[in-house]
Structure 1
């Protein structure tokens, strides 16, 4: 049985309600529930074996696969994106195929319905939405971290832990087919190629021995036929497409895909030219394919494009602070300035490991699939998960929960500490946002401020802009998951307890374009962060708004006001 490192996580688990979205595709927090479902499913299937000895061979193979996944997860955890896909597939596509097999036999109908009912009752059981999310996560990770489909399928990627699972022919075909249905043709072709290379000797046109029984003539023919369509539709190579479709028919004469595609290939050009033009202009847009296309973002996520960051690392201002607090005296917080414009700081050891662990524990039950807006209301001292935006998009894949600053002793301490460290007034700050990103979890490049420097912003809106962001890393991340500032060529790697702080606005109140940032996909591990967005409301004397964009243009009077506010803040904290 394959052994995986501790904390292996199945792809991002989401929690917008069951009837709308799949549950296992945007964070890691509820993975234990999925594993429990898998264990219970094993028990039910074992009972069925006792009732139907004649079907034991097919059924036992499924159980072995399911048991292996759940037992390894229980013992070693889950951290590999391919494992995430396997967990989604084994309880969705594989289980559906097994149920279809049962229903062909009258005596199996009752048990099949029992299994369906059991899966439906589970709050976090994967479904087809989760399977699609897992495939998208794999594709996103391939692009960002330059991992080939073959490396993932063979468990040989140098970017991942050394002990990696190997994906079966059926697994690879499922990934290829899902990508094909989404019209991600280039990525789909890579996975189809793995299928036919594993299953056939193409030179002799024969199927290779396959003890698992997955290399059927039908699977190989479909892989070749759909690959032929990609050659025709994307590469516009009709000759190669026809030859490959004919090869598919050599394995299965009645393959419907191959027959339909050959008919298409011989259709006169005038009959489909308009559709082809429309396809090249619209269907290949990034909006339809939510895998990020910014090469600079990808290279920063790999740590390849932050040369300026490395050159200036030794020159960064660095100091320690303790504020006369006992726990900070024992372990002072080290402050590093990453950038002066925009102003970006790292606070090392901002939170103690016991605090970060406790924050995760209290927040897990409140997690819901992340949207890209803020909560609509406060609710006493209770955590809320109510949003003013219902749209869940692939811009961000995570789970979030929101807490009032006075929710409990820990949240009050965090809020007070942020105030001490930044000097900013927290009375108008947004709720604390807890976010959990699983394998492939990410947040595409964005600004935290709302106005984007738009001079047409209403004065009332400007008063409540997001002047600053404070983000705490609650866990280490084994691979990936960095925060990158694209326009500054800065990569910040997650480290448990560290916090990143930056100003989103120029001193004149307009948005700072240099704060464009993103959360890189989590390649291996489990990423938890705590975000606080601080508003301009209450900062009038602390960080006065100037007529010009930044501090070099301050008037002497403004400098005096700023200094007085600093002294008042010091006296208040003394």
Structure 2
């Protein structure tokens, strides 16, 4: 009889243990999923923080405009959330015309200052600019993105500068490369110019040494990123997109055909992002970014082709 009396209690205990085991399994499953998510996010995005990048570049986003020199258009290079953060970081306010009664110009933030050329004010460049802090998570993410795009360059060699054009402001034709390497032996290997926001007309980036009249004849899709009404290669300001180009020759000297201009902001404003890869010129050659070690493989000459029976 004692056994019969204790049977319900034993059954209840077994059910309680079964329920407890199921709760443990559920808890461990949830905890494991959380850890897996955190680990995945950490290693898929090396830049931690609340403003970490939410997207990665895809091959379909890149459209080549020119093979030599290399110029490409990259769509969705800067996400909408990143653009908003960068505008706040640079404190770029909507344009308000300056009046003599204003104590300060409300469209210029403390971070932004008048642009310079070679460290000095110039009528060539009338915008306002600011180098953004590399410690900021979004700035760091963009530097990492730009470095990875170019074959895993060092993100520490990437400079990120916000540039704000009020109506009528411009950057006349110029080069991004330095006439000679810096004391550290560096020069600007490449440039990304991304659009954070734009409300102006006819205010893209113009490359006067490139004829773009045939792009739209092959496919009208180019007219989504290029100004198809112009003979010269001129980009449209597509928010979030970027142009990328190479500034240097194989020997580290500047390419003279990479002359370009930020056209005047007509009837509106433009806020862009300059992302420059300032790299040791010697590294450009050593890494084989423009070819291999051997000159004959790098740029085979006619005599060599004859010697191997290829001429």
User: Do they fold alike, i.e. is TM over 0.5?
Assistant: yes
Q: Which runs of 5+ in 1 are unaligned?
A: 1-323, 374-388, 452-456, 560-574
Pick aligned residue for 1:423 from 151, 169, 174: 151
Q: Distance in 1 between matches of 2:161 and 2:253?
A: 24
Please give the secondary structure, in 2, of the residue aligned with 1:486: strand
Q: How many residues in Structure 1 have an aligned counterpart in Structure 2?
A: 211
Contact 1:369-1:399 within 8 A present in 2 as well? yes
Q: Check 1:545–1:449 CA distance in 2 against 1; reply closer, same or farther (3 A cut).
A: farther
User: Counterparts of 2:88 and 2:242 in 1: how far apart (Å)?
Assistant: 19
Q: Contact 1:428–1:534 at 8 Å: present in 2 too?
A: no
Residue 73 of structure 2 is aligned to residue 351 of structure 1: no
How far off its partner does 1:439 sit? Answer: 0.6
Deviation at 1:508, TM superposition (A): 1.4
Which residue in the other structure is 2:123 paired with? 394
Q: Distance in 2 between matches of 1:526 and 1:507?
A: 37
Give 1:378's aligned residue: none
Q: Secondary structure at the match of 1:351?
A: coil
1:437 aligns with one of 158, 165, 177: 165
Residues 496 and 480 of structure 1: CA distance in aligned 2, closer, same or farther (over 3 Å): same
Q: Which has the higher contact order (CA 8 A, sep 6+)?
A: 2
CA RMSD across the alignment: 3.2
In 2: Cα distance, 1:428 partner to 1:330 partner: 20
**Is the partner of 2:277 in helix, strand or coil?**
strand
How far residue 392 of structure 1 moved from its aligned partner, in angstroms, is 2.3
Q: 1:440 Cα deviation (Å)?
A: 0.7
Residues 363 and 507 from structure 1, CA distance in 2 versus in 1: closer, same or farther, beyond 3 angstroms?
same
Separation in 2, partners of 1:446, 1:424: 28
TM-superposed CA distance for 1:490, in Å, is: 1.2
Q: Does the C-alpha gap of structure 1 residues 506 and 524 become closer, same or farther in structure 2, counting only changes over 3 Å? A: same
Instruction: Look up the SS of the partner of 2:248 in the other structure.
Output: coil
Between structures 1 and 2, the one with greater helix share:
1
User: Is it true that 1:472 corresponds to 2:194 in the alignment?
Assistant: yes
- What is the aligned counterpart of 1:513 among 245, 256, 259? 256
Contact 1:333 1:349 in 2 (8 A): no
Shift in alpha-carbon separation, 1:469–1:424, aligned structure 2, 3 A = farther
Of 251, 256, 273, the residue aligned with 1:530 is 273
Alignment of 1:105-144 (within 5 A): none
Give the SS at the match of 1:529.
strand
SS at match of 1:342: coil
2:204 matches 1:482 = yes
Indicate the residue corresponding to 1:369 in structure 2.
114
Within 5 A, what are the aligned runs for 1:400-415? 400-406=129-135, 408-415=136-143
Q: Deviations over 1:451-510 (max 9, x none)?
A: 1xxxxx57x648211111122111133412100111113111111111111110111111
Cα distance in 1 between the residues matched to 2:60 and 2:190: 20
User: What pairs up with 1:25-44 in 2 under 5 angstroms?
Assistant: none
Cα distance per residue 1:307-343 (max 9 Å; x no partner): xxxxxxxxxxxxxxxxx77944798761011111111
* Cα distance change, pair 429–514 in 1 and its aligned pair in 2 (3 A): same
Q: C-alpha deviations, 1:344-363, integer Å up to 9, x for none?
A: 11111011111111101111
Whether the 8 Å contact between 1:400 and 1:433 is mirrored in structure 2 is yes
Tell me, in whole angstroms, the C-alpha distance in 2 between the residues paired with 1:469 and 1:340: 15
The answer on whether the counterparts of 2:159 and 2:277 sit within 8 Å (CA) in structure 1 is no
Matches within 5 A, 1:55-66: none
Give me the whole-angstrom Cα distance separating, in 1, the residues matched to 2:153 and 2:258: 21
Match of 2:6 in 1: none
- Kept in 1: contact 2:195–2:242 (CA 8 A): yes
Whole-angstrom CA distance in 1 between matches of 2:146 and 2:80 = 17
- The TM-score normalised by the length of structure 2 is 0.59
For 1:393 and 1:423, the matched residues in 2 are separated by 35
Taking the TM superposition and a 5 Å limit, the aligned residue runs for 1:35-54 are: none
Match of 1:449 in 2: 177
Given the superposition, is the C-alpha separation of residues 437 and 543 from structure 1 closer, same or farther in structure 2, using an over 3 Å criterion? Answer: farther
Structure 1, residues 266-304: CA drift from partner, whole Å, max 9, x if none? xxxxxxxxxxxxxxxxxxxxxxxxxxxxxxxxxxxxxxx
From the two aligned structures, give the one with the greater strand fraction.
2
Kept after mapping to 2: 8 A contact 1:425/1:539: no
Per-residue CA distance 1:92-151 (angstroms, 9 max, x = gap): xxxxxxxxxxxxxxxxxxxxxxxxxxxxxxxxxxxxxxxxxxxxxxxxxxxxxxxxxxxx
